[in-house]
Structure 1
Amino acid sequence: MNRRHLLGLTAGALALPALTGARAQSFDRPVRIIVPFAPGGTSDILARLLAPDLTRGFGQNVVVENRTGAGGNIGADVVAKSPPDGHALLLIDVSTLATAPSLYTRLPFDLKRDLAPVTMLIYAPYILAVHPSVPARNAAELVAYAKANPQRVNVGHAGIGVGNHLTGLLVTQHWGADLTQVPYRGGAAALTAVAAGESQMIINGATATAPFCKQGTLRPIAVTGPARLADFPDVPTFQELGWPAADSGTWQGILAQGGTPAPMVNRLAGEIRTAMAVPATAERITALGAVNRVEGPDSFRTWLDNEIEVWGRVVRANNIKLD
């Protein structure tokens, strides 16, 4: 083997990692965003808002698919069992996802092994709202009404064990009131049911709930988060009222399949960060009552690990099991 041949082989070998890295970051077919809830909820609204800009960034069509059921686990499992190449993404309320390991003893995927955090997207506080037929105009009147009418106030929520269900449990236990928790197939279905008077109260993300309150279909009573919402300046926060779960809300994030190469995870995170910064998108997110919380994969994983522990304690304390 002559020197020129040897140098050629060496150069080729050195180029392999670069080629592999470039290939690991490329998109060669449409990208699916799996939303594990019905159309019209916060996750669905956000996915459809981002899809056009991500289509431009990825150079491939981005398609939103709703795969509902099992509190988001059916959609999560679709992504967990997809090829680890960044072409199937899960957009979900990650606080809800974090309850899954505590709720299910036979979960079809391992959250920490089979799903890879890419980036957090937004935080939107919860709005606690009631149907206009409820004779309560403020928090004190609602608590008094709920305590005086045990089991006659139905609380609609997105499914057993999801974030707004657990927040509702903590709050109503704090009230000392006996309310009936009614699970629906996602937040959008719960909103529709409460707006129709089928259930009387809901705790749900501001992104999806605020429009109902602005229309007068629902009456806002209180909000989570660090401050009152600009659209409802007279509605107090949970913290002001001394209620628990004051910092709960809908934390939307995107995850890929576990084992997705780090270069692809970083490419995804970068393109999503760019899409979230588009002025029209940023303005829409603010108008929906949400806050941009984009952050990298590592900090997102740390946050998720903490949520698994925090909400796991709530699930165990209330002895909630779904299998």
Structure 2
Amino acid sequence: MNRRAVLGLAAGALVLPALRQASAQSFDHPVRLVVPFAPGGTSDIIARLLAPDLTRAFGQNVVVENRTGAGGNIGADVVAKSAPDGHTLLIIDVSTLATAPSLYTRLPFDLKRDLAPVTMLIYAPYILAVHPSLPVQNAAELVAYAKANPQRVNVGHAGIGVGNHLTGLLVAQHWGADLTQVPYRGGAAALTAVAAGEAQVIINGATATAPFCKQGTLRAIAVTGPARLADFPDVPTFTELGWPAADSGTWQGVLTQGGTPAPMVNRLSDALRAAMAVPATATRIAALGAVNRAEGPDSFRTWLDNEIEVWARVVRANNIKLD
């Protein structure tokens, strides 16, 4: 047996006891993992990747359930109004969730009261990509084309007020370009639309977008995050280009009903972080262009509170209201 295989087995041996801490006695019926977007997006990809290990950890089936609409708020409300027993979980781009309190004056749930952070999962940078029919090869050409063709460049995004929509607004303002923002029911739908040429530009999570760029269906122009992506070494970062929102991206996390007892929240967090550490899962996450950011409930809550404040400033500056 080679050294890599031995190390993989050793890592797996360390992870399995942690997974078993979420014992079957704690879960007496199937666990719902609610994805508030359509299948094929980043949240859905990660949910389906983790579900088998969580099923083994909980001793109950973990069922991925797509509940779409309202920029993720319909799915979030399902979890907010669920029983506080740890059997209903929400996996979502939490930056998108963090925009909800400032975008909606009549949300059906209170984010801080009705949803309890369990753990952050991953960070995946955004890729800004274009349909190959757009006559641009790089960032400078894209900016020049957008400025020369006001309202003729359609930007597909996952829904009004979500993270990639707000990032697109900031970038367009920085360019001094008048782009047409086109909302879809989630990132997967936006990707499909741009790949078909229905819209020409997309800013979306690398986990879901990179395969389209590798296939040549889309052309990668720029990426967010601290460094260029290994799979796209010639594609510059927003920071290199001097663009705003350079640290934006999709931050996937898991929350549960706000009244769930702390011991159950901690047990869920332990199981999720252990599942993220399973060697095959960790390798798959890295291959998707994502970074493991699994952490406990307290640090996740601190991060989420900060994001709520950060995006509230962006929403106010752009005078965006959805009700």
Common topology (TM > 0.5): yes
CA shift at 1:107, angstroms?
A: 0.1
Give yes or no for the alignment of 1:74 onto 2:87: no
C-alpha separation in 1, matches of 2:59 and 2:276:
17
CA shift at 1:215, angstroms?
A: 0.2
Tell me the equivalent position of 2:109. Answer: 109
Native 8 Å contact 1:123 1:251 kept in 2: yes
Matches within 5 A, 1:204-243: 204-243=204-243
Tell me the equivalent position of 1:56. Answer: 56
Tell me the equivalent position of 1:17. Answer: none
Matches within 5 A, 1:1-323: 26-323=26-323
Q: Give the superposed CA RMSD.
A: 1.2
- TM-score norm. by structure 1 comes to 0.92
Higher radius of gyration, 1 or 2: 1
Native 8 Å contact 2:206 2:288 kept in 1: yes
C-alpha separation in 2, matches of 1:271 and 1:142:
44
SS at match of 2:245: coil
Q: Summarize deviations over 1:106-146 as a string: whole Å, max 9, x none.
A: 00000000000000000000000000001110000000000
Structure 2: tracts of 5 or more residues without a match: 1-21
Q: Summarize deviations over 1:41-60 as a string: whole Å, max 9, x none.
A: 00000000000000000111
SS at match of 1:294: coil
> Which amino acid is the alignment partner of residue 250 of structure 1?
T
> Which amino acid is the alignment partner of residue 154 of structure 1?
N
CA shift at 1:283, angstroms?
A: 0.5
> Which amino acid is the alignment partner of residue 127 of structure 1?
I
**1:304 to 1:25, Cα distance in 2 relative to 1, 3 A:** farther
CA shift at 1:25, angstroms?
A: 7.6
Give the % identical residues: 91
C-alpha separation in 1, matches of 2:252 and 2:147:
33
SS at match of 2:26: coil
Aligned residue pairs total 302
Structure 1: tracts of 5 or more residues without a match: 1-21
CA shift at 1:244, angstroms?
A: 0.2
CA shift at 1:259, angstroms?
A: 1.1
- TM-score norm. by structure 2 comes to 0.92
SS at match of 1:92: strand
SS at match of 1:222: strand
Which runs of 4 or more aligned residues in structure 1 lie more than 2 Å from their structure 2 counterparts after TM superposition?
22-25
Q: Summarize deviations over 1:17-56 as a string: whole Å, max 9, x none.
A: xxxxx99981100000000000000000000000000000
Native 8 Å contact 2:23 2:58 kept in 1: no
SS at match of 2:275: helix
> Which amino acid is the alignment partner of residue 233 of structure 2?
P
SS at match of 1:164: helix
